[in-house]
């Protein structure tokens, strides 16, 4: 088995660990999204290092990095760009916005209005932007990293279902373990002057290593029984009595692609049900729209994903 997938993760874990403490599981999820060419939604309370994680990842990946702070008055043109009049050319020219980057960090995306949130749809799905009947391609490895505060926080707008479906993974970040938090205080709490926590010599990843990892994951065998298992999970989400909107076909493809990469991380030659189950919480939870009574009864999307995994027959 080609170990390009595992080699890519080892490099990513090593470099990110120089800045981010105690986030090995989060970095694994990011690795899966990168190899599978998916966008990532980071969710959690403020102050857990979501923005620092995204900036560090962008530095490791190289290429052009842009950051947009989500606010209630942010307009679509602030992200995409706009046509301005060029007096020297006597014509209107398109001035590109921050969307035209290799890595775009949309910080607190759910503090922007629905119109601005929807401006990302075409870019995330088709990796291009249309403006005034012209099409502008985005970089080949274009990646959106969006951070989101829990929706019960003041001043947030829930992301529309169509946009949530375009995020391959949602990674839920929680408060660090005591030992990790102690290391964070020791590492960053000794200096009173503000400084960049990302070291200047942070090692970048060779794009050829990323391409090799993608090729290795694509070569893994997927049996008909495994494909049927993914379909069974998707149908179970659609038929669950507590769910009003279940997994889409796009979501089913995302689940299978993520499982492929996970199988590559463990050095396997084929995708197993264990790989599907390992990535299910990242792929499925944000795509489920719960019925009002489910939320009132305290059900959560992660809890329902767990119940569906337990209740769906696993192929031998």
Name the range with the highest mean pLDDT among 105-109, 117-121, 282-286: 282-286
Per-residue pLDDT tens digits for 123-138: 888 888 887 778 889 9
- pLDDT of residue 1 exceeding 50: no
Closest listed residue to residue 96, CA positions, set 123, 117, 70, 71: 123
Q: What is the mean pLDDT of residues 30-49?
A: 91
Q: Which CATH architecture has domain 1-219?
A: 3-Layer(aba) Sandwich (3.40)
CA distance 78 to 72: 12
Residue 261, token pair as written in the block:
């990469």
CA distance 66 to 59: 11
pLDDT over 90 at 149, yes or no: no
pLDDT digits over 219-257, tens only?
999 999 999 999 999 999 999 999 999 999 999 999 999
Query: CATH class for domain 220-316?
Result: mainly alpha
- Cβ distance 29 to 168 under 8 Å? no
pLDDT at res. 151: 64
Q: How far apart are CA 122 and CA 56, in angstroms?
A: 26
Helix and strand counts by DSSP (H, E) for the chain:
14, 11
Interior CA angle at 239 toward 235 and 243, to 5°? 115
Whole-number average pLDDT of the chain: 89
Answer whether residue 110 shows pLDDT above 50: yes
Tokens 């938090």 map to which residue?
Answer: 181
pLDDT tens across 182-205, in order? 999 988 887 776 677 888 888 888
CA distance 86 to 83: 9
pLDDT of residue 2 exceeding 60, the answer is no
Residue 216 CA to residue 207 CA, distance in Å, equals 14
Distance separating alpha carbons of residues 194 and 180, to the nearest angstrom? 21
**Structure pTM?**
0.90
Alpha carbons 145 and 39: distance in angstroms, whole number: 6
Domains in the chain: boundaries: 1-219, 220-316
Instruction: Express each pLDDT in 175-187 by its tens digit.
Output: 999 999 999 998 8
What confidence tens digit (pLDDT) does each residue in 65-102 have? 888 998 888 998 899 988 888 888 888 888 889 999 88
Question: Measured at the alpha carbon of residue 289, what is the angle toward residues 285 and 292, in degrees to the nearest 5?
Answer: 125
Tokens at residue 222, please?
């997927």
pLDDT digits (tens, 9 = 90+) for 257-287: 999 999 999 999 999 999 999 999 999 999 9
Which is higher by pLDDT, 37 or 190? Answer: 37
> Is the model's pLDDT at 54 over the cut of 90?
no
Q: Where are the alpha helices (DSSP H) in 49-169?
A: 50-61, 76-80, 114-118, 121-126, 161-164
Looking at residue 268, its pLDDT comes to 93
Residue 33 makes CB contacts below 8 A (sequence gap 6+) with 39, 40, 168, 169, 258
Tell me the three state secondary structure of residue 119: coil
| Exposed / middle / buried, residue 21 (Cβ in 10 Å: 0-12, 13-18, 19+) | buried
Q: Which of 163, 295, 220 shows the shortest CA–CA distance to 2? A: 220
- What is residue 215's three-state secondary structure? helix
Paired strand residues for 144: 104
């Amino acid at each position: 088995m080609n170990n390009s997938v595992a080699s890519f993760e080892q490099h990513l874990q090593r470099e990110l660990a120089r800045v981010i403490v105690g986030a090995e599981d989060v970095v694994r999820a990011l690795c899966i999204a990168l190899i599978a060419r998916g966008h990532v939604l980071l969710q959690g309370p403020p102050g857990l290092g979501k923005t620092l994680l995204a900036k560090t990842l962008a530095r490791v990946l190289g290429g052009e990095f842009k950051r947009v702070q989500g606010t209630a008055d942010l307009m679509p043109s602030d992200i995409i760009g706009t046509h301005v009049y060029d007096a020297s050319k006597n014509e209107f020219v398109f001035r590109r916005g921050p969307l035209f980057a290799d890595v775009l960090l949309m910080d607190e995306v759910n503090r922007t209005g629905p119109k601005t949130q929807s401006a990302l749809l075409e870019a995330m799905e088709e990796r291009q932007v249309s403006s005034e009947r012209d099409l502008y391609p985005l970089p080949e490895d274009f990646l959106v990293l969006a951070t989101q505060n829990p929706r019960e926080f003041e001043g947030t707008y829930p992301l529309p279902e169509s946009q949530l479906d375009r995020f391959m993974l949602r990674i839920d970040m929680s408060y660090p373990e005591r030992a990790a938090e102690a290391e964070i205080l020791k590492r960053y709490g000794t200096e009173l002057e503000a400084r960049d926590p990302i070291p200047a010599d942070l090692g970048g990843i060779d794009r050829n290593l990323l391409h090799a990892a993608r090729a290795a994951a694509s070569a893994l065998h997927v049996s008909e029984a495994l494909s049927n298992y993914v379909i069974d999970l998707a149908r179970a989400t659609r038929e669950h009595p507590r769910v009003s909107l279940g997994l889409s076909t796009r979501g089913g493809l995302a689940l299978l692609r993520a499982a492929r990469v996970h199988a590559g991380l463990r050095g396997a030659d084929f995708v197993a049900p264990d790989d599907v189950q390992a990535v299910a919480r990242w792929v499925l939870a944000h795509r489920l729209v719960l019925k009002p009574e489910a939320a009132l009864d305290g059900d959560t999307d992660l809890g329902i994903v767990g119940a569906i995994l337990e209740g769906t027959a696993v192929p031998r």
